[in-house]
Amino acid sequence: MTETRSTCPYCGVGCGVIIESAGDAITGVRGDPDHPANFGRLCSKGSTLHLTATREVTLQTRLLQPMQRAARGATPQPIGWDAALELAADRFAATIAAHGADAVGFYISGQLLTEDYYVFNKLAKGLVGTNNVDSNSRLCMSSAVAGYKMTLGADAPPCCYDDIAHASTLFIAGSNTAYAHPIVFRRIEDARRANPALKIVVVDPRRTETAASADLHLAIAPGTDVALFNGLLHVMLWEGWTDAAYIAAHTSGFDALKARVRDFAPKDVARLCGIDEADLVQAARWFANIDATQPAGRAPTLSMYCQGLNQSTSGSLKNAALINLHLATAQIGRPGAGPFSLTGQPNAMGGREVGAMANLLSGHRDLADARDRDEVARLWGVVDVPSTPGLSAVEMFEAAADGALHALWIACTNPAQSMPDQATVRRALERCEFVVVQEAFATTATCGYADLLLPATTWGEKSGTVTNSERRISRVRAAVAAPGAARDDWAIAADFARRLEARLRASGGSRAVVERSLFEHASAEAIWNEHRETTRGRDLDIGGLDYARLEREPAQWPWPAGAGAGRSRLYADGIYPTADGRARFVDAAYEPPAERRDARFPFVLNTGRLRDQWHGMSRTGTVARLFGHVPEPAVEMNPSDMQRLRLADGDLVTVTSRRGAITLAAQASVAQAPAQAFIAMHWGDEFLSGAAGGPAETRAPGGAADARPGRAAGV
């Protein structure tokens, strides 16, 4: 048996795993006791990873050779790698020649490795000359990026997992940590055992498992988070719980925010959010944590937050309004204190670091800054990087549906199941003239729309790096050879890029200012080293983190050349990466949810993860035991709503939103407030045979919905 150290490919906790293999078969997996993210622990998903890589699962689910579809709707036929990539290069070159660089787009994934991300970003922004490269991280973490940049000046989570053990209050907002980040939740349980006085406040419209474990559950009305945070600041100001000295020395913009929160009186906020005024005041007291016995005059408060804040039409302001509270109370920059965004996907952080989104630039540079763009162009050897932000994920599909985006490359993600507004997404995929899907799994809904299917390696077969929520970079390592003709994602992208580059040079359309190819990388390590160069002197400088160093242990950035260690916490000195070194308060106005309940759509539909499933289930859906927790999709409703609608558990209902409908079983649950419904995010059409036809839009957080008894054939 061979043992290979690697990283779990599911959530942003980034747990270390030891893969056991014999020949080309992965035979087992266990937690890596030496990995600082998990110290040997794994959740139900991580501990069953080997069951997703059996020979049977591989044969049933994997894309094993390049395939071409001669026409939409036709059965795809095998094609060789050379012919496939030549075809792709021809079609992209022709599209660029006919319609310009912005007529093509790349939709990539927070599940790619940093090296994969790097090549796609350079391919789009450097070689093609378009910023139309965006990631499915747009759907989860882009609000966290904006929140950090608006307030602290850089997209850098200032905390670490160790802070959970140091905190006196944990303020968890919009995160069902128990399900979505189970190993972080184990740390919370440990912290409570070690410190029974630890206070846990959970902000969530649902009474999740995490909320049920809290000392105080603020079950706010969906979408009222900014009002809640402004109300908490109002109370803190009124009670004298803010830190005037810290505000004066290390921040700017407080006066405008102070004027803003004057209007957020506790009574009004409590009514708007649907909570008790006394609970609001208690949450403010525990957050501020005044304690004269502590050196800082207050005990530390750590906030942790996830999609409940991020996936919202006011997601950036929700993030900023929460960070405002940390700045106003100096709850940042010391053990146990700070705003800590929990990353959904395993490498959303790595994608942000290489700048592989439509409005970001490599090494946390600013797309709007001409000097930053020039630096990247020089590092890459291209004439420039375009200044106009590209199309975001949602815009990319809207543009394709409108006929403005002609060629689309999709890698390691399944938009035909996971994007909001499925009707538009599927119309986009149908209308787009050339769709390439680079995938490990042949079973995803998006594969059905591809003109060209390119088989990619996946967990256990590929090597590179990922960055978890606490800025810790871990190695991902291959334990077995790639199945069939599958190739690494970075290698597919680089091979395509070289072929496109040759065509652009031949036609005089090259943007390169160097003779050599822009994509000479012979290995993931070569890409990593190029990426490291782009970070030198930046806030995330990883000049000192070569593969040899990472072989020894996972490491947190920044880690500049010559440093002996990474940094666990940021901003201990109160100096922020802004022009004047001060953090910025954001004057966060409260905007109600974009869609409200009305007579036609009387429910608010919330979505979220289940404990044992991951995203669109292309991997977890292959493991029978992971269905033991929740065997089938359901719409959960408060018992009072079930009674009013004369529904019993198991009755089929059709849930209709303004964008689509889905038919599934009803289930009574006291975890849902009256007039709210919950559907887990995981199941798509592939799992819902018999659903009521047409697009089934189920992931519109905060969207309004209707639930009626249905007569569908079955779920």
Which residues of the chain form contacts with ligand SF4 (CB under 6 A)? Answer: 8, 10-11, 13-15, 38, 42-43, 45-46, 181-183
Q: How far is the CB of 11 from ligand SF4 (least distance, A)?
A: 3
Alpha helices in 469-578 (DSSP H): 489-506, 524-535, 547-552
Strand partners, 652: 665
Q: How far apart are CA 241 and CA 169, in angstroms?
A: 15
| DSSP 8-state symbol, 348 | H
Please say which residue, 174 or 182, places its beta carbon nearer to ligand SF4.
Answer: 182
Alpha helices in 387-477 (DSSP H): 393-402, 415-418, 422-431
Pick from 374, 357, 353: nearest CA to 154? 353
Q: How far apart are CA 240 and CA 565, in angstroms?
A: 39
What does the DSSP assignment read for 54-73?
SHHHHHHHB--S-EE-SSTT
Q: How far is the CB of 688 from ligand SF4 (least distance, A)?
A: 24
Please say which residue, 15 or 456, places its beta carbon nearer to ligand SF4.
Answer: 15
Q: How far is the CB of 550 from ligand SF4 (least distance, A)?
A: 18
Please say which residue, 30 or 99, places its beta carbon nearer to ligand SF4.
Answer: 30
Please say which residue, 15 or 634, places its beta carbon nearer to ligand SF4.
Answer: 15
The structure tokens listed for 609 are 């993860």
The vertex-429 CA angle with 426 and 434, nearest 5°, equals: 170
Please say which residue, 8 or 219, places its beta carbon nearer to ligand SF4.
Answer: 8
Show the 3-state SS of 221-244.
CCCCHHHHHHHHHHHHHHHCCCCH
CB 176 within 8 A of CB 209: yes
Q: How far is the CB of 49 from ligand SF4 (least distance, A)?
A: 8
Please say which residue, 188 or 325, places its beta carbon nearer to ligand SF4.
Answer: 188
Please say which residue, 181 or 538, places its beta carbon nearer to ligand SF4.
Answer: 181
What does the DSSP assignment read for 179-229?
HHSHHHHHHHHHHHHH-TT-EEEEE-SS--HHHHT-SEEE-PPTT-HHHHH
Q: How far is the CB of 490 from ligand SF4 (least distance, A)?
A: 22
CB 205 within 8 A of CB 606: yes
Please say which residue, 45 or 659, places its beta carbon nearer to ligand SF4.
Answer: 45
Peptide bond into 631 cis (omega under 30): no
Q: How far is the CB of 134 from ligand SF4 (least distance, A)?
A: 24
Q: How far is the CB of 456 from ligand SF4 (least distance, A)?
A: 20
Q: How far is the CB of 136 from ligand SF4 (least distance, A)?
A: 17
**Position of minimal CB gap to ligand SF4:** 46
The vertex-523 CA angle with 520 and 525, nearest 5°, equals: 110
Q: How far is the CB of 141 from ligand SF4 (least distance, A)?
A: 15
Calculated CA dihedral for residues 109, 115, 118, 119, nearest 10 degrees: -100
CB 686 within 8 A of CB 667: no
Please say which residue, 42 or 494, places its beta carbon nearer to ligand SF4.
Answer: 42
Please say which residue, 8 or 400, places its beta carbon nearer to ligand SF4.
Answer: 8
Q: How far is the CB of 144 from ligand SF4 (least distance, A)?
A: 17
